[in-house]
Amino acid sequence: MSVIIEIVKLTKRYGKKLAVNDLSLQVETGAIYGFVGPNGAGKTSTMRILCTLMHPTTGTIRVGGYDVLKNPRDVRRLVGYMPDFFGVYDDMTVMEYLDFFAACYDLPAQQRASINTDLLALVDLSHRANDMVDNLSRGMKQRLALARTLAHDPQVLVLDEPASGLDPRARVEIRELLVELARMGKTIFFSTHILADVAEICTHVGILEGGKLVASGNLNEMQRQLMPQRTLSIKLIGSLEQAQAVLGNIPGVLSVIPYEGGTTEPDSVHLRVAFGGTDTDVSDILQALVMAKLRVLHFTEDMRDVESIFLQATQGKVT
């Protein structure tokens, strides 16, 4: 796999404030890279440097081999950037808005018309082409902002919290769009606080805290590094005591905790089981429950409990 984004010993200071602290990371071509971290971790600062909107204090970033300091114009050609705010454009229709940004990339007017039409179709806004931008819902604005980053057909998309403030359906739509764009061959580097999105679509994740990378890799690797203990979520019909007795006898089971919260039907039991063991041991647990004639409704391993990974990796340090 080739590397398309290379962040090399990057440091950014604002006066005395150290926002990015000797950060190095690489993003492979074709990845959907989730850049996660608490507020103030340095995500936006890193992305702005990547997009040549701000100079680093020391270190650099290379995109497709081009250095943001030495070859900023080449970097800009390769990168589409969606900032974490929409900006205010009162008197513009959706089509005018898109055309304005396409024109910024020197695309000839004739070519722009068909590109804009295609982009609106891609983000499912064709029916709003002549509406005022101001009248769009937040979800639509986010999709429009995403469309605008695509005008010059960049290879790399740098998206700063593309799904923030969206309702669940709008979030799923953005998520699907990102997957679609990755399928079209784009590399996606996006920041988010929505860990469910990370679990759902990211091929790689980097967790940033205090300007430093505290964990990185794919989620499974990260989980293995940070949390050797596995967790099973089990739902069954039957008595809690019986389930606890069966599970308590299985070697490797560390704890069996009735699940609190959520809605549970009156005669079903929901448990979280912590254990240390292999995949064979996981299947042995299921078998033991079935042999004991407990009716299993749901049996799954929390492989992608990103929230736990995030909490384990970050310490809530305030910088």
Ligand X SMILES: Nc1ncnc2c1ncn2[C@@H]1O[C@H](COP(=O)(O)OP(=O)(O)OP(=O)(O)O)[C@@H](O)[C@H]1O
DSSP string, 41-110: SSHHHHHHHHTTSS--SEEEEEETTEETTT-HHHHHHHEEEE-SS----TT-BHHHHHHHHHHHTT--HH
Q: How far is the CB of 211 from ligand X (least distance, A)?
A: 7
Q: How far is the CB of 197 from ligand X (least distance, A)?
A: 14
CA distances from residue 280 to 162, 283, 284, 290 in whole angstroms, order as listed: 40, 5, 6, 15
Q: Supply the DSSP symbol for 136.
A: S
Q: Which is nearer to ligand X, 42 or 162 (CB)?
A: 42
Does 44 help bind Mg ion (rule: CB under 5 A)? yes
Q: How far is the CB of 46 from ligand X (least distance, A)?
A: 7
Stated as kind and residue range, the H or E segment containing 204 is: strand 204-209
- CB atoms under 10 Å from CB of 222, counted, come to 21
Q: How far is the CB of 267 from Mg ion (least distance, A)?
A: 47
Subset of 180-219 contacting ligand X (CB under 6 A): none
Q: How far is the CB of 214 from ligand X (least distance, A)?
A: 13
CA distances from residue 275 to 117, 132, 219, 257 in whole angstroms, order as listed: 54, 56, 19, 12
Per the DSSP assignment, residues forming a β-bridge with 7 are 25, 61
With CA atoms as reference, report the closest residue to 240 among 278, 213, 214, 269. Answer: 269
d(CA 19, CA 12) in angstroms, rounded, equals 6
Residue 42, contacted partner among ligand X, Mg ion, none, CB below 5-8 A by kind: ligand X
Q: Which is nearer to Mg ion, 43 or 76 (CB)?
A: 43
| Segment near Mg ion (CB under 5 A); pick from 43-51, 67-75, 107-115, 163-171 | 43-51
Count of residues engaged in binding ligand X, rule: CB under 6 A: 12
Q: Which of 9, 17, 70, 224 binds ligand X (CB under 6 A)?
A: 17
Number of residue whose CB is nearest Mg ion: 44
Residue 192, contacted partner among Mg ion, ligand X, none, CB below 5-8 A by kind: none
Query: Are 79 and 56 within 8 A, CB to CB?
Result: no
Residue 40, contacted partner among ligand X, Mg ion, none, CB below 5-8 A by kind: ligand X
Q: How far is the CB of 4 from Mg ion (least distance, A)?
A: 22
Residue 17, contacted partner among Mg ion, ligand X, none, CB below 5-8 A by kind: ligand X
Subset of 44-103 contacting ligand X (CB under 6 A): 44-45
d(CA 120, CA 122) in angstroms, rounded, equals 5
Q: How far is the CB of 97 from ligand X (least distance, A)?
A: 24
Residue 35's contacts (CB-CB under 8 Å, 6 or more residues apart) are 43, 46, 47, 189, 190, 191, 192, 206, 208
Task: For 60, list phi and psi in degrees, rounded to 5.
Answer: -155, 175
Count of residues engaged in binding Mg ion, rule: CB under 5 A: 2
Q: How far is the CB of 85 from Mg ion (least distance, A)?
A: 10
**What is the residue type of 311?**
L
Site string for ligand X, 22-51 (x = CB under 6 A): ---------------x-xxxxxxx------
Q: Which is nearer to ligand X, 37 or 64 (CB)?
A: 37
Please report, as ranges, the residues that interact with Mg ion according to CB under 5 A: 43-44
Site residues (CB under 6 A) for ligand X?
14, 17, 19, 37, 39-45, 319
